Amino acid sequence: MSDQAKISLQIHGISLEIIGSEGFVSGQIEHFRDAIQEALVKGAQTEEEAEAEATIEPPPAPHQEPTGQPKYTNALHVEGDKVRILKKVAGNTTSKRAVNTALVYLWAKRNAGLDSVPFTELRDLCRDQGCLDKGNFAAHMKSGRQWLVIEGRKRAQTAKLTMPGVERAEELLQELNAD
């Protein structure tokens, strides 16, 4: 029977691996106990701060006045800064539908005076539209980088439209509005 022991920890990008006899590993864990506990507490606080940041309302768009673009009333219902997409957005795959849905929503928000929208809001929208792939949501959004600017990290990410994204969103809205 082997007296070998091993422990591996990875806390916020910092790795610690201890290999040796059971007594040695136990002694090292005891030696690093305070540092490990402090890192775990600090990490929990950082996550709470990131979640709190994600709920903060994004700053208003640089253009406060409505853009004067067509309203697409058959596809969108807009009241103030509240936006509802009235129809299912097209797309061959869940990923394409999610990105297209985000484009349409971001266009409407931009038209209402908000450039940047939190990922949490986009997730809820995709869930309502039936195109949310929980595990791959961020990757799907990042696949549309030619149309979307993604900022922030983890739970505090936001998205806004690029100029080609504005054009693509208008194409999608014209299709939705015509149906």
Measured torsion, CA atoms of residues 172, 63, 83, 117, in degrees rounded to the nearest 10? 90
Burial 158-174 (b: 16+ CB within 10 A, else e): bbbbeeebbebbbebbe
Distance separating alpha carbons of residues 149 and 115, to the nearest angstrom: 10
Residue 171 and residue 96 share a domain: yes
Residue 118 and residue 34 share a domain: no
The answer, as to whether pTM is greater than 0.85, is: no
Distance separating alpha carbons of residues 47 and 12, to the nearest angstrom: 11
H helices then E strands: how many in the chain?
5, 7
Determine which of 37-46, 135-144, 165-174 has the lowest per-residue pLDDT on average. Answer: 37-46
Distances (CA, A) of 101 to 70, 84, 178: 18, 11, 17
CATH number (domain holding residue 160): 1.10.10.10
Instruction: Please tell me the predicted confidence (pLDDT) of residue 61.
Output: 47
Question: Does 61 fall in a domain?
Answer: no
Question: Does 99 fall in a domain?
Answer: yes
**Number of domains observed in the structure of the chain:** 2
Question: Does 65 fall in a domain?
Answer: no
Residue 108 and residue 31 share a domain: no
- Please determine, for residue 102, whether its predicted confidence score (pLDDT) is greater than 70: yes
Question: Does 168 fall in a domain?
Answer: yes
Which domain does 51 fall in, by range?
A: 4-55
Residue pLDDT, tens place only, 9-63: 777 677 778 888 888 888 888 887 887 778 777 776 666 666 666 555 555 444 4
Residue 41 and residue 104 share a domain: no
Question: Does 174 fall in a domain?
Answer: yes
